[in-house]
Each structure stands twice: as structure tokens, then as C-alpha cells.
Structure 1
């Protein structure tokens, strides 16, 4: 049961983070200011889903990995603190800042500077989460 919980929570967390990133890129590139505001104000509400998913994936992963050793487990253990710190220190504050700026229709230089930072750090988290998923699949023998 714990293995299923871990896989589902991890996959959903990756999907949520990726959807935040993609909707941001697409709206910033192709949409109106109104749609950008909608996306930027909706993302913090997505934290109500994302934070528990990341917590469940982390908790279940640590429980599952406790008796295990090996390079894949070690790599996953090294990545998780980076993912968590990146999210708590950079991505959540950036999303809250961007939401407030978008609500005020203040699409100025600081908005776009923080947006660039959020996209870079978001891409890092997507990459790290995807690497964790890849290594988890390798450990299960579903991927070479």
C-alpha cells in the first residue's frame, strides 16, 4: 500500500508542478493580462494540493527507503532536500509575490524578474522530480 501511495503522490506532485510551469509559460507567451492574472492567482490555491502530495511522497519514500541501500536510493535522498528547499524558499514565495502583483495589474520589471526566477527554479524542480521518478522506476525494474 505504501508503495502505491508513494508512486501516486510522486506522479501527481510532478504533474502539478509541471502544470504550473507550463500554464505560466503558455499564458506569459500567448495570453492576455486577464488570463495571466487568473493563472498567477490560481497557482497558490494549487499549493493546497501540491504541498500534501510532496509531503506524502517524501514521507512514504523515506519509509520505503529506510532498509534500502544503493546508488539510486542515495541519489533520491540527495535530491529531496533540494526539491523541498527550492519549493519553500524560492517557488512558494515567488508564486505569492506574482499573485499579488498580478492582482494589482502590476506587470512591471520586478514581476518579470521574479517570473524568470520562478521559471528557472521550477524547471530545476521538475527535472529533479522527474529524475526521482526515473530512479524509482529503475528500482522497480520497470526501466533500465
Structure 2
């Protein structure tokens, strides 16, 4: 049961961040000020209220699953998780709040776009790190080869 919870919550977390990232890029390239404000608002609510519990459940279930395991892949996943969490709490959440506030009143100045760039960079970083954790989880479960080498 805990394995299923871990898999589902991790997939939800990655899907949320990927959706936020993609929606942000598309709306910035092709959207209006109103559509940018709408996307920023949706990222904040309900987006973060889906993402945050998913990340917490992923981390908690991951640590529970790792209690009885050891090895290089476990160590790597454990090393990445604090950075993913800190990046989310210290960078992504504040960026989402500020960008929503500014977009809701139509403030699209240099400060907005600097924070937007920071948010995109932090989001991409978390996507990469979470993807690496997912890859390592698949390797541990036997869904991918256990080494980094191609088995073909």
C-alpha cells in the first residue's frame, strides 16, 4: 500500500510541476495579460494545494520505504530530496505567491520577469531532480535496468 501511495503521489507531484512549467511558458509566449493572471492564480489555487500534499506524501512514503533498504540509489534519492523540498519551500512557493499578486493587478515589469525566470529555473531543476528520483525508483523496483548501462 505504501509503495502505491509513493508512486501515485510522486506522479502527481511531477505532473503538477510539469503542468505549471508548461502552462507558464505557453501563456507567456502566446497569452494576454488576463490569461497570464489566470494561470498564475490557478498555480496558486488549486495548484499548490494539490502539489504540496503530493510532495509531502512522496517524501514521507519514500523515507518509510527506504528504512529497510540501503545502497547507492537510496543514498542518491535521499540526497536529492532535501534540495527538492528546500527549492520548493524557499523558491517556488514564494515565487508563485509574488507572481500571482503582481499578475492579478497587471504588474508585468522587470521584477515580474526576473522572478518568473527564477521560478522557471527552480521548476526545471526540481523536475530534473524528481525525474532522477523516479528513474532510480524504477531501477530499484526492477522496471529499468539496475545499472546506468543500456542492457541492449
Q: Which TM class, normalised by the smaller chain length? A: over 0.9
Trace 1:1-144 onto structure 2 (pairs within 5 A): 1-45=1-45, 46-144=47-145
C-alpha displacement of 1:142: 0.3
Long gaps (5+) in structure 2: 146-152
Q: Distance in 1 between matches of 2:80 and 2:17?
A: 16
Q: Distance in 2 between matches of 1:131 and 1:26?
A: 25
The alignment of Structure 1 onto Structure 2 pairs a total of residues equal to 144
Q: Distance in 2 between matches of 1:122 and 1:74?
A: 23
Q: Distance in 2 between matches of 1:81 and 1:139?
A: 20
Q: Distance in 1 between matches of 2:19 and 2:54?
A: 14
Query: Normalised by the size of structure 2, how large is the TM-score?
Result: 0.93
Q: Distance in 2 between matches of 1:48 and 1:40?
A: 14
Long gaps (5+) in structure 1: none
Choose between structure 1 and 2 for higher RCO, CA contacts under 8 A separated by at least 6 residues.
Answer: 1
C-alpha displacement of 1:113: 0.4
